[in-house]
Structure 1
Amino acid sequence: MLADTAGGELSSVRLLDLVRRGAFRLHAEGVRRGGFVAVDTTSLTWREVAIGYLSVVWLGAAAVLTAGEVSERSARELADVSVLVRGAGRRSAGPAWLCVEELIAAGGHFGAPLAEPDDLLDIVFTSGTTGSPKPVASRHTQWTGLVRPEILASQVRRVVAHTGIPVGVSGGLHGVLLHHLARGVTSRCAPTAAALAASCRDHPADELHLTPHAASGVARVVAPREPWARRVVIIRVVGGPVPEAVAQALAERFTRARVVSVYALTEGGAALCVKVVGGGHRDSVGRPVAGTEVRVLDADGRELPAGEVGELAVRASGTAPLAYFRDESMNRDWFPGGWARSGDLGFVDPGGEVRLVGRVKELIFLRGGRLPPEYVEEILFRRIPEEVEFAVAGVPTAGGWDRIAVFLRGSDSSPEIGEAKRRLADMTGPFRPQIVRVVPEIPRAPFGKPLRRVLTQDLVTSVDQVTRRPTADSP
């Protein structure tokens, strides 16, 4: 069953009925196997996206998931989109426009699904954390390997509540929607951490699926020893590492739950690394799950031995690699030999754990070495009042080491912001920030990761951007 706080519930029987209605209407609009239909995820609820998406792929057409005007325009330029499924309040020029109500209006039910294993399933845009979102194409066969074991193993009826994971990216579409449907769970979506807690008080959940940012929000709004929290046995966090302070707060509130962190890429398809938070090394993203392979590459694409730092690359064994849609040049660079490059620096330790150094484009270069901004954020979590949202980034300087910049969300007149600024000013040592800025909002990618390049763009001059980084031997 699918449920969300915006519009009630859908049983699996009802969902199948609506999907066949939707496929019938799309077929009447001229959609055929091999065609393209855009689904606007920003104007639809999770339930409506499920209906629209499954109606498209039932016909063997590819669903192009868009998240606003930029990706919608890109979708039209990339593919011959014949129909656009949007919310009832939005209309636009271009292809035929249908809202979900029109899609499922009485008219008929389409017969058996037309899709074949090698047909294009969908096109999903990357989150754009460190650059422009890129379209990644998947085929049916690339995801059946992920969901088939879930279908065969699904014997226990569970309720899974989730928030913060957008349906318009792979982690939401493939990792939550298709995964939950395959497991046969009751999947409850909430728009915020507060709404999730309120929903779970009335409808207790067995599992929570969150982003790190949503996990932090849940830890703030759930009080210790709430009755419903004792039922939760798994908290699955996707989209980034779980800060130590957040993990501790979750452990205090959900005393029976294991917190599991999942490392995955849109480009990596079903390839996953999984870690039980609280065990192993803090910089570990866990071990590859069955069917996932991990390599560490040097700058020339050669595999490095265990223990050496390089760029992580992953692939799901037994399936064809994913690819950027209609971009052979990018595919040659980013999918060498069927492996998906991650843009993350890391290494594999002797115990088989994958250890993350940080994203290549986000590392902060300090005299003592290079550090991911999340490491500095963990230190500052203990300094900054818990009600203040913040992000850390490195700002390059001409011919020198990076400056640590902290961005506080709020107003300069706020007592909490004033206290945060005072505590940061009183810090000593290498992690004392040189720049503290108050901003009305912290821009975030779909999974809640701060868009650090956006925060720092007015702090970085053109000279800084082309300055060569200092080496370990630089004065």
Structure 2
Amino acid sequence: MGACRFDTHRGGACAERTADRPRLAAAAPMTWLVDARGGWSRRDLLREARRAASGIDRTTTVLVATTSLHDTIVTTCAALHVGAPVWLVGARRGRLDLVDLMAEAGPGALLVTDGDLGVAGERRLADLVTGRRTPLPRVPAPVTLHTSGTTGRPRAVRRSLPSPAVVAQVGSVLRRIPLRPRRIGVAVPPTQSHGVAAWTGAWLTGVPVIDLHRLTPPETAALYAESGADAVTAVPDQLESWCAPTGLVISGSDRLAPAIAARLTDGGAQVVDVYGTTEAGPITLAGPAERALDPATVGRPLAGVRIRVVDGAGREVEPGALGRVEVCTPLLGRGRTLATDLGRMRDGLLRLEGRADELTSTRGELVSYERAEQYLRTRHGVTGVRTTAAGLHITADDTGLTADVLRRAMLRDLGPAYARVELCVTRRP
């Protein structure tokens, strides 16, 4: 198979994919976003958004579930351009979740995806473009992020992009980062809260972005090395399988394991761990100075964040004692607190000791074994399901019902987070 070249917009980057991996030449100074398809300036993206806005009605709720950073930004800007509500629901959600969200959004809702998921109302970004431009709206619409359920039952979190709280959130992180990147690779899904924070921050500061999402670990490492990027942001689960990148590494969402941070540091990277949630936003930041004091810490609170470690009665515990971590951040709003993790606070450094509810999170997304059990019991041929220490044990009377078959079904209907659930299938005598 020969090389296939991707031409770009004027003055953009030039990317090509060989038979084994993508290659990327240096982007022109005006290019802000580069992926395997090409390069775009921020003006290019806004121009595309105005054309795509012609295919969106102001009364339509637009659900964005694409894996492409380009398509996410253009679709979001297009909907905001006409004043239509935007729900960033995430491409890693299963088909059943998307069907439920479309029903919740109401008649006429529009779901923008990468391809055919078999959901009514689903369209691609290209389907929205009619070529004509639309006038500016009178009233801006909010952006709604849908949590994965890691902070309880999945819920909608409303944001305005940009808003004073979001700008302050970006600024509080940037002030604590040891250097400002010249170009940053974003490996996080663009509709996940950490991904939204990454591209929003890059947009506001003008730092060019390389879209590394959807690539395999070898492709990610190769594209990052060849792009000239000197920083990357990802979630710990991605960094675990990535050959050590150099430059600045910003881990977000879940806690970064000390072993992963040590491996990246030994490889020459400057590692920054930003711990946070969709609802609360970034909570703490741990850089080299904080990890030198405690390798397992998630760092010190960011500006405007208050943290208390409390017991079951809500009383603050002694320094270093284990308790429930209660946080209050600007994005939560005055007087609101959030508490999901167990941890310890000593000398201003927070150390997490696991979730208070003992649930499992993968790439910042909740894995509910109860939901997996309920789903598997509906599958034809399954006669019993129970949770064990090793995973889910399934009894079946269908010889064709293997663990791989059930795992693929869970991946399609429940989402990629469930692909890691261990399944053991036995035949009913």
Question: Does the alignment reach a TM-score above 0.5?
Answer: yes
CA-atom RMSD in angstroms: 4.1
Which residue does the alignment assign to 1:338?
Answer: 336
Cα distance change, pair 10–251 in 1 and its aligned pair in 2 (3 A): same
Tell me if structure 2 keeps the 8 A contact 1:150–1:179: no
TM superposition shift of 1:406: 9.8
Output the CA distance in 2 between the equivalents of 1:361 and 1:153.
31
**1:296-334: CA deviations, max 9, x gaps?**
2332444445433221122223x5539xxxxxxxxxxxx
CA deviations over 1:357-409 (Å, ceiling 9, x no partner): 1112339xxxxxxxx999xxxxxxxxxxxxxxxxxx9xxxxxxxxx97599xx
Supply the distance in 2 between the matched residues of 1:258 and 1:448 (Cα, whole angstroms): 30
Q: Cα distance, 1:201 vs. partner? A: 3.2
- Do the aligned partners of 2:172 and 2:303 also contact (CA within 8 Å) in 1? no
Separation of aligned partners in 1, 2:404 and 2:354: 25
> Does the residue aligned with 2:292 lie in a helix, a strand or coil?
coil
Instruction: For 1:235, give the aligned amino acid.
Output: V
Describe the superposition over 1:94-145 as per-residue Cα deviations: whole angstroms up to 9, x where unpaired: 44x5421122331124336741xxx53213232x459764433334544243
- Deviation of residue 37 (structure 1)? 1.4
Picking from 265, 290, 303, the partner of 1:251 is 265
TM-score, length-scaled by structure 1: 0.62
- Residues 104 and 201 (structure 1), Cα distance of their counterparts in 2 relative to 1, 3 Å cut: same
Alpha carbons of structure 1 residues 457 and 285: separation in structure 2 relative to 1, 3 Å? farther
1:237 equivalent to 2:251? Answer yes
Q: Which residue of 2 aligns with 1:294?
A: 307
Cα distance in structure 1, aligned partners of 2:389 and 2:83 = 50
Query: For structure 2, which runs of at least 5 residues remain unmatched after alignment?
Result: 1-31, 363-368, 370-387, 393-402
Structure 2 distance, partners of 1:447, 1:260, is: 29
Q: Which of 340, 349, 357 is 1:361 aligned to?
A: 357
SS at match of 1:338: coil
Change (3 A) 1:321 1:192: farther
**What residue identity is the alignment partner of 1:348?**
M
**How far, CA to CA, are the matches of 1:84 and 1:373 in structure 2?**
29
The answer as to whether partners of 1:36 and 1:62 remain within 8 angstroms in 2 is yes
1:196 aligned partner: 220
CA shift digits 1:266-325 (9 cap, x unpaired) = 1213x42000254222331100111212122332444445433221122223x5539xxx
Q: 1:64-118: per-residue Cα shift (whole Å, max 9, x none)?
A: 12334233223234333633242464275644x5421122331124336741xxx
1:69 aligns with 2:95: yes
Alignment partner, residue 182 of structure 1: 204
Q: 1:297 to 1:76 in 2, by over 3 A?
A: farther
Query: % of aligned pairs identical?
Result: 23
Q: Find the counterpart in structure 2 of residue 90 from structure 1.
A: 116
Matched to 2:102, the amino acid is R
Determine if contact 1:160/1:187 at 8 Å carries over to the other structure: yes
Match of 1:161 among 174, 185, 197: 185
Shift of residue 14, structure 1, vs aligned partner: 0.1
Matched residue, 2:34: 3
Corresponding residue pairs, total? 348
Note if contact 1:296-1:312 (Cα within 8 Å) is conserved in structure 2: yes
Aligned equivalent of 2:273: 261
Instruction: Give the residue type in structure 2 aligned to 1:99.
Output: R
**Contact 1:242 1:261 survives alignment (8 Å):** yes
Structure 1 residues 373 and 439: alpha-carbon distance in aligned structure 2, compared to 1, 3 A threshold = farther
Q: Which amino acid aligns with 1:102?
A: D
| Stretch of structure 1 that moved more, 146-155 or 44-53 | 146-155
Contact 1:58 1:113 in 2 (8 A): no
Contact 1:160 1:186 in 2 (8 A): yes
Q: CA deviation at 1:182?
A: 1.6
Secondary structure at 2:254's aligned position in 1? Answer: coil
The aligned counterpart of 1:279 is: 292
Alpha-carbon distance between aligned partners in 2 of 1:316 and 1:195, rounded to the nearest angstrom: 37
Which residue number corresponds to residue 7 of structure 2? none
Contact 1:39 1:53 (C-alpha < 8 Å) held by counterparts: yes
Deviation at 1:159, TM superposition (A): 0.9
Alignment partner, residue 365 of structure 2: none
Amino acid at match of 2:45: L
1:141-195 superposed Cα distances (whole Å, 9 cap, x missing partner): 44243246789999967111132x222321122x222122122111112223211
> Mapping of 1:25-424 within 5 angstroms?
25-26=55-56, 30-32=57-59, 36-41=61-66, 44-66=67-89, 67-80=93-106, 82-87=108-113, 89-90=115-116, 94-95=120-121, 97-111=122-136, 114-115=139-140, 120-126=142-148, 128=149, 133-140=154-161, 141=163, 142-147=165-170, 158-163=182-187, 165-173=188-196, 175-190=197-212, 191-219=215-243, 232-253=246-267, 255=268, 257-269=269-281, 271-276=282-287, 278-317=291-330, 321=333, 337-341=335-339, 343-349=340-346, 351-362=347-358
Q: Which residue identity does 1:82 align to in structure 2?
A: G
Q: Which residue of the partner structure matches residue 16 of structure 1? A: 46
Mapped to 1, the partners of 2:113 and 2:191 lie a distance apart of: 14
Q: In the superposition, relative to structure 1, how do residues 309 and 58 fare at CA in structure 2: closer, same or farther (>3 Å)?
A: farther
Match runs of 1:444-463 below 5 Å: 454-455=421-422
* Cα pair distance change 1:439/1:209, threshold 3 Å: farther
Query: Using a 3 Å threshold, how does the CA distance of structure 1 residues 314 and 74 change in structure 2: closer, same or farther?
Result: farther
